[in-house]
Amino acid sequence: MSVYLHDIPLNEAKKQLEFALREANLWKILASEVIPLDETSIGRVLSEPVWAIRSSPHYHASAMDGFAVKAENTFGAMSTQPVLILCPENAKYVDTGDPLPDWANAVIPIENIESLDDSDCLTADVRNPVKIRIRSAIVPWSHVRPMGEDIVATQLVLPTGHVLGPYDLGAIAAAGHTTLTVSRRPKVGILPTGTELVPIGSDLHPGDILEYNSLVMAGQIKTMGADPIRFPITKDNFEEICSRVQEAANSCDLVLLNAGSSAGSEDFSAAVVEKLGTLLVHGVAVRPGHPVILGMITRYENDIYRMIPIVGVPGYPVSAALTVDIFVEPLISRWLGRHPVEMPTITAQITRKTVSPPGDDDYVRVVVGRVGEKVLCAPISRGAGVITSLVRADGIVILKRGVQGVETGEEVEVNLFRSKEDIDRTIFCIGSHDVILDLLAQNLSTKDRRFVSSNVGSQAGLVALRRGEAHLAGSHLLDPKTGGYNLQYVRDYLPGTQVMVVGFVNREQGLIVKPGNPKSIKTLDDLTKKGIKYINRQRGAGTRVLLDYHLTKAGIEANQVSGYEDEEYTHLGVAAAIASGRSDCGMGIPAAARALDLDFVPLYQERYDLIIPGVFYASSLLQPLFDVLASHEFKTEIHKMPGYDTSIMGDVERIQ
């Protein structure tokens, strides 16, 4: 029976790999090497401790420009009863860093002495002695750097396993060293496989998949302190993959075989590992990243056969990246002799109920923000192929095996990708999607603010404000009774709360259609025609409210529109559904149509506002946002995009 059909718990998979590495004598520092002490040493890991072979300073040094003296000769000196000291017999001029005479044990700063006559006390010698006047006594070793003040010969300067930084290099040099003994960087071979893969820069055709997993993994490996070696794409051919894996094994310490780790007809990775060595694990109960392969394969080196580890990495980008973090980083840390990297953590309340497979360790990507006194985290896309979810994510929430999910408002621990300072300067926006929110985020990034938006729809955004889960919400909710926008919804959803409705833009809404509008879709009536497939926005989205309002006015029932129940969460999602051929049309904004080279049929004008509770409106956190809204440059950027009018931008209406 296939091992893959029986997923192994994450901890058990790690234990099996560790046991195999111990058996192969690889659960240790791989090797050491001696390198010169220079700036290229930064980031290397010491495999031997650094002991001082000399003291620093290696003599008693003056810490000031002044006169070296015996402190005892100054005792009794007062402003009204100065002491006279003869130079150079009992006082000698020294510059900062000069050695003290053997008889001296203190330095008087030059600004604290007075020459008794017009003679130059700085050039006094035994033939021309000069007296100086001291008006304040000093204690022994004042203004002196005694020998060994910084480092004493034979003391430990840095221990084994220390990751070298810039300041360390100075201490090592001061301790008398010119070379360092560090752990050799492990060599990691990265092998992308798949007939459908094409290199970066290729002209793409349907069915082509751009191969960038190896680039991402190489970056991860480099950051971890190892040397990545990227191999060319290998097509889905068993013998060719075996040959390429053996080539990598003979020159690397670890092989990452990317894609082909599942159980499909062209998934050869498990069979390759079995042919070249031992398959330990095929399938780990972790999401994303289920079809992970762990094994040991043979390496032939200097007429000796030995085993090295191989990891079959899933092909989906997020699964691939997390697999490297979970399995490879601890191994590289072990080989380098340092502690595994630990991300900073923070406790936050999750903003949305999140269901988790009970048998898996579930790695949930989240964005994080501080709203009032609460730290909140909002789950973002969980797709294993959505690499931008890792770009947008502020951290990971790990829902352990056996936990079936968390409820809204439940406290969770977030493993942060960013610093807590970044979290404190984050503006959290939950609500309706608009592409110009990205422009707003870009402009705010130059004003020391992060703008994080979660696209859940206008109504859900107002609910988030009511729960205290966001600083503001984007909204464009049409009131069917009045024909106005947002105000009545704010009163309904946020009763008793002072709210500022800040004008953002007036914008066009209409039907996004395929280039050339091949099905001649011009009005909502056309949505009822046979053969036309519509793509809708999610319930609670302002665009869906607008559609439903006009469908009702036109006497069109929802069940007359094919695809009405198919939903996307953003305007760009709607455009992508149409560009891919999944749908023929959908309600959206012209900027989304332009982004994917689609056509647009304008139908309506609507108002899009930023809804901000008064307590946040007055905060320093949001002040840069208002500066951006007031800027001519920001409005000019928006005007370059179709379908927007900024005449209402910055207008404020206070409610309650």
Q: Please indicate, yes or no, whether residues 449 and 536 belong to a single structural domain of this protein.
A: yes
The answer to whether residue 340 is domain-embedded is no
pLDDT tens per residue, range 143-165: 999 999 999 999 999 999 999 99
Which residues span the domain enclosing 36? 32-57+149-183
d(CA 93, CA 115): 13
Percent share of the chain, pLDDT over 90: 79
223 and 119 in a common domain: no
Looking up residue 416, the CATH number of its domain turns out to be: 2.40.340.10
- Look at residues 388, 420, 452 and tell me which one is the last residue of a structural domain: 420
Tell me: pLDDT of 124 over 90. Answer: no
* Number of domains making up the chain: 5
d(CA 523, CA 601): 8
Position 15, amino acid: K
Residue 5 pLDDT greater than 50, yes or no? no
In a domain, 605, yes or no: yes
d(CA 47, CA 184): 9
Task: Indicate if 281 and 257 belong to the same structural domain.
Answer: yes
Q: How many C-beta atoms lie closer than 10 Å to residue 613's C-beta? A: 22
Tokens describing residue 165: 């930084």
431 within some domain: no
Average pLDDT, integer, range 72-98: 91
First to last CA, the chain: 67
What is the SS3 assignment for 595? helix
Residue-wise pLDDT tens digits, 477-491: 999 999 899 999 999
Residue 382 in this model has a pLDDT that exceeds 80: no
Amino acid occupying residue 41: S
Instruction: Based on the fold, state whether residues 475 and 619 are members of the same structural domain.
Output: yes
Is there a single domain that holds both residue 409 and residue 461? no
Contacts of 39 (CB under 8 A, 6+ apart): 166, 169
Same domain? 179 vs 321 = no
* Region of poorest pLDDT, from 240-249, 348-357, 542-551: 348-357
Residue 560 phi, psi dihedral angles, 5° rounding: -85, -10
The phi, psi pair for 548, rounded to 5°, reads -60, -40
What long-range pairs does 194-202 form, CB within 8 A, spacing at least 24? 194/233, 194/235, 194/236, 194/259, 194/260, 194/315, 195/235, 195/236, 195/266, 197/233, 197/259, 198/233, 199/233
Between helix 632-639 and helix 436-445 the angle, nearest 10°, is 150
Specify whether 53 is located in the same domain as 78.
no
CA–CA gap between residue 501 and residue 474 (Å, rounded) = 10
Q: Are residues 83 and 173 in the same domain?
A: no
Res 299: pLDDT:
87
Say yes or no: 44 and 81 in one domain: no
Compute how many other C-beta atoms are within 10 angstroms of the C-beta atom of residue 620. Answer: 6
Question: Is 123 part of a structural domain of the chain?
Answer: yes
Chain segment 540-567, per-residue pLDDT in tens: 899 999 999 999 999 999 999 999 999 9
Asked if residue 428 is part of any domain, the answer here is: no
Q: How confident is the model at residue 1 (pLDDT cuts 50, 70, 90)?
A: very low
Q: Do 314 and 380 belong to one domain?
A: no
**294-339 pLDDT per residue, tens:** 999 998 777 788 899 999 999 999 999 999 999 999 999 999 999 9
Same structural domain, 141 and 176:
no
Cβ proximity of 52 and 175 under 8 Å: yes
Q: Considering the domain boundaries, does residue 425 fall inside one?
A: no
Q: Supply the DSSP symbol for 46.
A: B
3-state DSSP assignment of residue 533: coil
| Residue at 216 is within a domain | yes
Question: Which CATH number do you get for residue 37?
Answer: 3.90.105.10
Query: Looking at 116-125, 132-141, 219-228, which range is the least confident one?
Result: 116-125
φ/ψ of residue 136, rounded to 5: -150, 130
Look at residue 56 and give its three-state secondary structure.
strand
The CATH number given to whatever domain includes residue 506 is 3.40.190.290
pLDDT band of residue 261 (cuts 50, 70, 90) is low
Distance in angstroms (rounded) separating the CA atoms of residues 165 and 292: 35
H/E element holding 67?
A: strand 66-69
Residue with tokens 């192994």: 8
Tokens, residue 589: 């904004």
| C-alpha distance from residue 457 to each of 376, 470, 476, 563 (Å) | 18, 13, 9, 19
Note if the pTM is more than 0.75: yes
Does any domain span residue 338?
no
Same domain, 478 and 614: yes
Question: Which tokens sit at 410?
Answer: 């439940």
What pLDDT was estimated at residue 420? 87
Please give the backbone phi and psi of residue 121, each rounded to the nearest 5 degrees, phi first: -70, -20
